[in-house]
Amino acid sequence: MSYDTSTQQQWGVTPPISMAPPTDYEKKLTEDLVKILHQYDLFESSEEAQRRTVVLDKLDKLVKEFVYRVCIQKGLPESVAREAGGKIFTFGSYRLGVHSAGADIDTLCVFPKYVEREHFFTLMYNMLSERPEVTELTSVVDAYVPVIRLHFSGIPIDFVCAQLSLSSVPDNLDLSDSNLLIGLDERCIRSLNGSRVTDEILRLVPSVPVFRMALRAIKLWAKKRAIYSNIMGFLGGVAWAMLVAKVCQVYPNACAATIVTHFFRIMYQWDWPNPIVLKAMEEGPLQVRQWNPKLYPADKSHRMPIITPAYPSMCATHNVTDSTRSIMLNEFGRTADIANKILIGISKWEDLFTDSDFFLAYNNYLQIVASSFSSETQLKWSGLVESRLRQLVLKLELDELLKLVHPYIKGIDQVHYCQDDDEIWDTAHGNHLKDRTFNVDENDKMTQEEKTLFRPLYTTTFYIGLKIAPISQPQSEPRKLNLIWPTQEFLKSARSWDKYVVNLMSITIKKLKGSMLPVELAGENRRLKKLQLSKPKVPSFNASNII
């Protein structure tokens, strides 16, 4: 890895903290860090890299065929249809060069003015469904950035789209030109900005190889500490990338080990909610809203603003809540101490990447179970429920008795083979069936013949840790935590989904003591009580219900 010792004085808007090149000791620390990252299987093989290239090439050809078909359907001349083009761009971790083995590829489909978004979610969706290489195909049309999700030859793809005001989309199209945004709706601008932001980040760091290695380490740390999830109110991939890029800018000649060890102290001591910006915000050709807390009250409410560097600049962290901000700051502070010990040689890199103790940290949890009777339905239903969980967190935070509301970053997907309605009820309420409950990502031990004797129920279980505020003064009456209003509002919101089917989907909520968590989550250290597999006569929590 090479290091730039140029005389440039400043990258971005912040003067450098140090222009010093790496010492031999820091280089050795970087070598040790790279070895550890390889142990975590963060680097794909050359064979997998080639498979990704082949898949992206097939997708690009499919996009051109898709655009051609739409043009013909609209009665355009054959010559126009052939010249209309179409192109895919990658963004996110793949474009940044920090994707790990098995990671998804964020992919943007760009098409000319003749093609509309509805075509993408109908014709393109159908074209994908006809491909034998495509599995786990689903779409989320009403998302903030509408997306088709799929696996193509086993490689996960998040596929978004944007219509340009052009008659044709050539293969040499450069998305950095802000004039391409003229005449587009907000959803198209958001889709395009995924690629534009990624490319701009790479242009704004002093050394791309140093940035990439440091970002790999920070992403691994964030995932290990269960704070890597935009949808749950933590930070997503682009936000973590911008934070690392910021540290690279203020240590422009440093090696990856130096960037990583300084990262946590800088982010812990940052004067939030002052924003993280990588360059001065620029004006552009559109009458669109850019992030500006002086003009927009909603922008002023952002707790940890990290601002995208491509026009129009937006806040990538508007989902952060009071609780998730506190959790991340605590992690920054805790890890800054470890990083300092690594620098002086009394700790090792392995100490940085310890797993989160989420399932041991709280005495009380909320367990939310979304369930349905098919894997295809469950993909959509659990995704909808997951997208609404942040609203539940915000409502729970209004309760003065709750000091912290901590959502776990992902749901746990399982399939249960039920023999009667009682077992369906039990599993939909978070219970397991002995020898007939399996994690979806594992091979179950039942034969196909055995499976025919049961009805499968697919569940996705989400957890929220609750930290009760300590008693500050003597109370005349016992304190009572009332979770009925926020949980009932959440259930109502989930069931208001226009694709919700009463007899095929359910959602339940119940409050659990930490000792009642499934043993595979909490481990043997908890004094576990066995979950009852029979239907309880009295529900443990009056907001628990199923339709």
Q: Is 178 helix (H, G, I), strand (E, B) or coil?
A: helix
CA distances from 111 to 71, 312, 511 (A): 11, 21, 48
- The set of residues, in sequence order, having a beta carbon less than 8 Å from that of 495 and lying 6+ positions away, is 507, 547
The reply to whether 228 belongs to the active site is: yes
Among the listed residues 64, 68, 87, 93, the single catalytic one is: 93
Cβ 309 vs Cβ 277: under 8 Å: yes
The Cα angle at residue 177 between residues 171 and 178, in degrees rounded to 5: 135
Cα–Cα distances in angstroms (integers) from residue 17 to residues 244, 250, 344, in the given order: 15, 5, 20
- Say whether 177 is catalytic: no
Residues 6+ apart with CB under 8 A from 5: 21, 253
422 is catalytic: no
Candidates 87, 219, 395, 510; catalytic one: 219
Residue 541 burial (CB count, 10 A): 16
Q: Per the residue annotation, which of 68, 94, 139, 158 is the catalytic one?
A: 158
Q: Which of 68, 106, 511, 544 is catalytic?
A: 106
Strands 155-163 and 134-140: unpaired
Per the annotation, the verdict on 191 as an active-site residue is: no
Please report the beta strands in 427-504, taking only residues with DSSP state E, as ranges in sequence order. 437-439, 455-468
Residue with tokens 């009642």: 516
130-162 b/e (C-beta count within 10 Å ≥ 16 → b): eeeebeebebbeeeebbbbbbebeebebbbbbb
- Find all residues with CB under 8 Å of 507, minimum gap 6, and list them: 368, 369, 370, 371, 385, 491, 494, 495, 546
For residues 260 and 218, the answer to whether their CB atoms sit within 8 Å is yes
Is 322 among the catalytic positions? no
Q: Of the residues 104, 322, 399, 444, which is catalytic? A: 104
Start-end of H helices in 397-463: 421-428, 448-451
Residues 6+ apart with CB under 8 A from 467: 362, 402, 403, 404, 405, 406
Q: What number of other Cβ atoms are within 10 A of residue 496's Cβ?
A: 9
**Active-site residue, selected from the candidate residues 68, 228, 268, 458:** 228
The contacts of residue 128 (CB under 8 Å, 6+ apart) are 62, 134, 137, 148, 150
Residue 338, CA atoms < 13 Å, CB-side half-sphere:
17
The DSSP letter of residue 101 is T
Any catalytic annotation for residue 219?
yes
Q: How far apart are the first and last CA of the chain?
A: 58
- Residues with active-site annotation: 93, 104, 106, 158, 219, 228
